[in-house]
Amino acid sequence: MLTIGPEEAGQRIDNFLIRVCKGVPKSHVYQVLRSGQVRVNKGRIAQTYRLVEGDTVRVPPMRLAERDESHVPAAEFRVLLEDDALLIIDKPAGVAVHGGSGVSYGVIEQLRASRPAARFLELVHRLDRETSGILMLAKKRSALTHLHEQIREGRLDKRYLTLVKGEWLNRRQHVKLPLFKYTTPDGERRVRVQSDGQPSHTVFNLLRKYGDFVLLEAELKTGRTHQIRVHLASSGFAIAGDDKYGDFALNRELQKADGKRVALKRMFLHAYRLVFEHPVTGQPVNVEAALPPECLRFLQSLPTANNNNAVSETP
């Protein structure tokens, strides 16, 4: 028997059960709901029922094969900001934000394992596994709802740093290409530009030229899957180290040091700035995460542009 608190209020009963009954297949959760075994205030409810603070929920026993939970190691990540409503971390490249698609666990599972007393901890947004930088989590449902509203209304400003090779001409360039999500035969999630895809808009600001490479700031106006990567690749400027949409010959070349240039063994895409309205205080919040050392070392090993090509200092 579970009593609904303020953080669970407003959530649909099916989503609540899926979160509470970790490891239970969704199909089984819905089967239990349809059969009437789940009761709210001693009565049957539809799977679309939204919980109210003070509701008493009866969750029936659901037998599972015993699982070893120790395979999710507790982990902490560099904290950029934390209070009663928010947790903002600097995610390393190569770490998934959540389990699934061949990944046993991700940031969210590791943080929950390291904070067993936390009643609520959910991702506000996502980052690709290969992308480093700012990742925001909500510690209250009310904060999560408020932040999602800001995302929908375009009031949350997310900016990335990325490196491409080629002759980038414009100081500020808008890319508006519709993006279509699909799955390859082997189950890999991919995105391509397609006329009936979702409207997608990225603004790229030229920051500095490093020999044949260009450092760009990507300003997201929409938040589609792989948006920055596909917008750049479709414009003829694949991100250095991108193993999904990139220039594979260039990637192989960059993985080995060449003279003064050090090796780059990751994708050069980093979420470095996030500006939003605090969901509790209403005050503006500006969070920044510096370039990771491996990206900074790579930049510093590239030829320095002459003064005519220097647009700005590296953020």
Clarify whether residues 262 and 172 are in a common domain.
yes
Number of domains in the chain: 3
CB atoms within 10 A of CB 79: 10
Establish if 312 belongs to a structural domain.
no
Establish if 64 belongs to a structural domain.
no
CB 17 within 8 A of CB 28: no
Q: Which residue has the tokens 């300003």?
A: 219
Clarify whether residues 101 and 201 are in a common domain.
no
pLDDT at residue 315 greater than cutoff 60: no
> How much of the chain exceeds pLDDT 90, in percent?
64
pLDDT at residue 139 greater than cutoff 90: yes
- Which structural domain, as residue segments, surrounds residue 201? 155-301
Tokens describing residue 138? 């909500």
Greatest extent of the chain over all pairs of C-alpha atoms, in Å? 74
> How much of the chain exceeds pLDDT 70, in percent?
92
Establish if 149 belongs to a structural domain.
no
Clarify whether residues 37 and 174 are in a common domain.
no
pLDDT at residue 128 greater than cutoff 80: yes
Which among 55, 90, 128, 247 is annotated as catalytic?
Answer: 128
Clarify whether residues 223 and 280 are in a common domain.
yes
Clarify whether residues 267 and 201 are in a common domain.
yes
pLDDT at residue 308 greater than cutoff 60: no
Residue 44: which CATH number?
A: 3.10.290.10
The residue length of the chain stands at 315
Clarify whether residues 165 and 263 are in a common domain.
yes
Q: Would residue 128 show up in a list of annotated catalytic residues for this protein? A: yes
Residue that finishes a domain, picked among 91, 120, 143: 143
Clarify whether residues 159 and 283 are in a common domain.
yes
Distance CA 27, CA 210 (A): 53
Establish if 194 belongs to a structural domain.
yes
pLDDT at residue 299 greater than cutoff 50: yes
Tens-place pLDDT, residues 212-227: 999 999 999 999 999 9
pLDDT (average), residues 91-101: 85
CB atoms within 10 A of CB 254: 24
Clarify whether residues 111 and 161 are in a common domain.
no
Residue 98 C-beta-side C-alpha neighbours within 13 Å: 10
Tens-place pLDDT, residues 142-154: 999 999 999 999 9
Per-residue pLDDT band for 79 (boundaries 50, 70, 90) equals very high
pLDDT score of 100: 65
Clarify whether residues 76 and 200 are in a common domain.
no
Clarify whether residues 219 and 285 are in a common domain.
yes
Establish if 63 belongs to a structural domain.
no
Q: What is the mean pLDDT of the chain?
A: 89
- Rounded to whole angstroms, what are the CA distances from 81 to 75, 91, 134, 276, 286? 17, 13, 10, 13, 10
Clarify whether residues 271 and 190 are in a common domain.
yes
Tens-place pLDDT, residues 37-75: 899 998 988 888 998 989 999 988 876 544 444 467 777
Per-residue pLDDT band for 306 (boundaries 50, 70, 90) equals low
Clarify whether residues 178 and 82 are in a common domain.
no
Indicate the helix (H) or strand (E) that contains 296.
helix 293-301
pLDDT (average), residues 135-140: 95
Establish if 79 belongs to a structural domain.
yes
